[in-house]
């Protein structure tokens, strides 16, 4: 069974007003200024979409990703506007530094340890945790209904939980990107969020240092178990279709709601084939989302949310 309220719609917030910049590798997806994002979310809501997840592109990037934990940053501004103007919409926020750091990594960097392998900088897991915690609290203060850490640092769920509780947000749940694989399916997203790791001396080329190995299902289950122990309230598997075995495994093993993220590359593949007339876009999109549900996902994050909801309800906006 697939219903509109099984779908969560990712939206990209950018500074400015009346900005609606198409993302080239994701037809139908835009970078939106807050006013436009509110209008888009409202239209989605009218079609039956009940939840959105927000990603932000800040006005400035720096080595520490300070735009991520600014109480007046792009995401807090977007959250406040949505909570005011689209009552009833569940507003989730992605918690990560990669959109906010000038090097594009999900955490802060430090020089290699003396005697360690190679000359590359490495992501400083433990120095990143308090920054992520501040980011989550800034989102919660703005009114976020749920926070979703996607950075994949070890210990982040526990760090977020403690910080949220201390700040008076014990009731704000954490949707953990619990099993997030370091694959090739995130390319278009990095265009949309302007978050690809920069090329530069010493900067790690990819996220393999903190995201998971696509070949390893057992590691995935261990990672999920750690997030559960740290207090995750909901669990996500990402990407979706190539990892449906993981979705099913998580569903069977853990007694928490499970989400699948149908990611940017998966969306782009359907779009590209459909544009050539090679597949029936609407049918393939709905079948894809339905199969995520069949595999065990209680809900699906998808760029198709509004379109699929519209197909399911018959409401066009």
Closest to ligand PBG by CB, 11 or 89:
11
Q: Does 108 bind ligand PBG (CB under 6 A)?
A: no
What radius of gyration do the chain's Cα atoms show? 18
24, 83, 180, 271: the active-site residue: 180
Q: How far apart are CA 35 and CA 86, in angstroms?
A: 12
Q: How far apart are CA 28 and CA 12, in angstroms?
A: 12
61, 238, 251, 271: the active-site residue: 238
> Least distance (Å) from ligand PBG to the CB of residue 182?
8
Tokens at 126, concatenated: 């433990």
Closest to ligand PBG by CB, 211 or 310:
211
The bridge status of strand 146-149 relative to strand 90-95 is parallel
Tokens at 258, concatenated: 């499970």
Q: Tokens 């178990």 map to which residue? A: 225
Closest to ligand PBG by CB, 125 or 150:
150
Closest to ligand PBG by CB, 17 or 199:
199
Binding mask 112-151 for ligand PBG (x = CB under 6 A): --------------------------------------xx
Tokens at 231, concatenated: 């207090």
Q: Which of 189, 243, 299, 304 binds ligand PBG (CB under 6 A)?
A: 189
Closest to ligand PBG by CB, 46 or 124:
124
Question: Residue 53 is inside which H or E element, if any?
Answer: strand 51-56
Tokens at 137, concatenated: 């609290």
Active site includes 180? yes
Scanning 61-69, 91-99, 137-145, 220-228 for contacts with ligand PBG by CB under 6 A, the matching segment is: 91-99
Tokens at 298, concatenated: 């209680």
Q: What is the DSSP string of 267-293?
A: HHHHHHHHHTTSS-HHHHHHHHHHHHH
Q: Tokens 């809900």 map to which residue? A: 299
What is the total count of residues that contact ligand PBG (CB under 6 A)?
13
Active site includes 251? no
State the catalytic residues: 180, 238
**Site of interaction with ligand PBG (CB under 6 A):** 94, 96, 98, 106, 150-151, 186, 189-190, 195, 207, 263-264
């Amino acid at each position: 069974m697939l219903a509109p309220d099984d779908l969560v719609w990712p939206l990209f917030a950018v500074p400015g007003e009346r900005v609606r910049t198409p993302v080239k590798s994701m037809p139908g997806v835009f970078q939106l200024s807050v006013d436009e994002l509110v209008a888009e979310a409202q239209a989605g809501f009218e079609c039956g979409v009940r939840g959105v997840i927000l990603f932000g592109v800040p006005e400035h990037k720096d080595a520490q990703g300070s735009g991520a934990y600014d109480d007046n940053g792009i995401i807090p501004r977007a959250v406040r506007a949505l909570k005011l103007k689209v009552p009833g919409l569940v507003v989730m926020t992605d918690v990560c530094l990669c959109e906010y750091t000038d090097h594009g990594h999900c955490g802060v960097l430090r020089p290699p340890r003396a005697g360690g392998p190679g000359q590359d900088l490495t992501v400083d897991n433990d120095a990143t945790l308090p920054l992520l915690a501040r980011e989550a609290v800034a989102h919660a203060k703005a009114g976020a209904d749920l926070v979703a850490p996607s950075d994949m640092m070890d210990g982040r769920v526990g760090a977020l939980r403690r910080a949220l509780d201390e700040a008076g947000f014990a009731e704000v749940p954490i949707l953990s990107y619990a099993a997030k694989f370091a694959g090739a399916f995130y390319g278009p997203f990095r265009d949309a969020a302007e978050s690809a790791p920069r090329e530069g001396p010493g900067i790690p080329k990819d996220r393999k240092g903190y995201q998971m190995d696509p070949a390893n299902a057992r590691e995935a289950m261990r990672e999920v178990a750690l997030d559960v122990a740290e207090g995750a309230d909901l669990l996500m598997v990402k990407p979706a279709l190539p990892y449906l075995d993981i979705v099913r495994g998580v569903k069977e093993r853990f007694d928490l709601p499970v989400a699948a993220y149908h990611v940017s590359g998966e969306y782009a593949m359907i779009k590209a084939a459909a544009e050539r007339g090679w597949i029936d876009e609407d049918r393939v999109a709905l079948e894809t989302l339905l199969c995520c549900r069949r595999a065990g996902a209680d809900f699906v994050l998808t760029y198709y949310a509004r379109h699929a909801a519209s197909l399911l309800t018959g409401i066009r906006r």
